Amino acid sequence: MSKSLNTLIATLLLVGVSNSFAASSIDMSVRGLITPSACSPSLGNGGQYDVGKISAKDLKLNDYTSLGDYVTQLTVTCEAPTLMAIEPKDNRAGSEAMGEPSYFGLGLINGSEKLGSVSAFLEKVFADGVAAKATDSMDGGSTWERHRSISPNSITSVANSAAYTPIPVQSFEAQMMLTPVIAPASTLTLTEEVPIDGSITLTVRYL
């Protein structure tokens, strides 16, 4: 079950019965939970990160060019202690240039040239004002591991320092470090201005 801002999505579960004869009907159930608590995410500077103009001549010809680190504040505020996680979505899926499944894309040039990648990591994590750790699940919340990364193929929550399992929180705060890199200039058409166009949606998912 997940929540993006104030939208609840129920999951559909098809349930069938196997017999030696073909059944003429099948049952369908609609299941889920409505939580009384709502959580709202926010990012420093409204989630905007402008790297400014970069000269094509400053890009490495045959290697990736790092644009440096950018740190912003990620905050999730809930009405009551709530089990939740952050679920990211890469709105530029298919444009990640380094072949790293945990990175996000920066858009395409001419519809096919992958401009670059951006990684996202959490630091200085706090749960209700107490130092905590980020925890990560790649199977929808069945198992958890200690990772700091925010990645398109996982969900990220908060745990205390002694365990990996998420804990209910009313306030979750962390510094999110973004590191964008541009693909080798030799792989890009840079005869005109090219927009650096990364876009990530962070959704609160209830556990």
What residues have CB less than 8 Å from 196, skipping those under 6 apart? Answer: 51, 54, 106, 107, 115, 116, 180, 182
| Residue 25, pLDDT score | 72
| Residue 10, pLDDT score | 38
CA distance 121 to 61: 27
What residues have CB less than 8 Å from 195, skipping those under 6 apart? Answer: 107
pTM: 0.81
CA distance 128 to 146: 19
CA distance 15 to 30: 10
Query: What CATH number does domain 39-206 carry, 2.60.120.260, 2.60.40.1090, 3.90.1170.30, 3.40.50.10860?
Result: 2.60.40.1090
CA distance 194 to 22: 59
HEC string of 163-196 equals CCCCCCEEEEEEEEEEEEEECCHHHCCCCCCCCC
pLDDT 10s per residue in the chain (207 long)? 444 443 333 333 434 444 555 668 777 767 766 666 789 999 999 888 888 899 999 999 999 999 999 999 999 999 999 999 999 999 999 999 999 999 999 999 999 999 999 999 999 999 999 999 999 999 999 999 988 899 999 999 999 978 899 999 999 999 999 999 999 999 999 999 999 999 999 999 999
Domain ranges in the chain?
Answer: 39-206
| Residue 33, pLDDT score | 63
Token pair in block for residue 42: 């926010």
| Residue 24, pLDDT score | 82
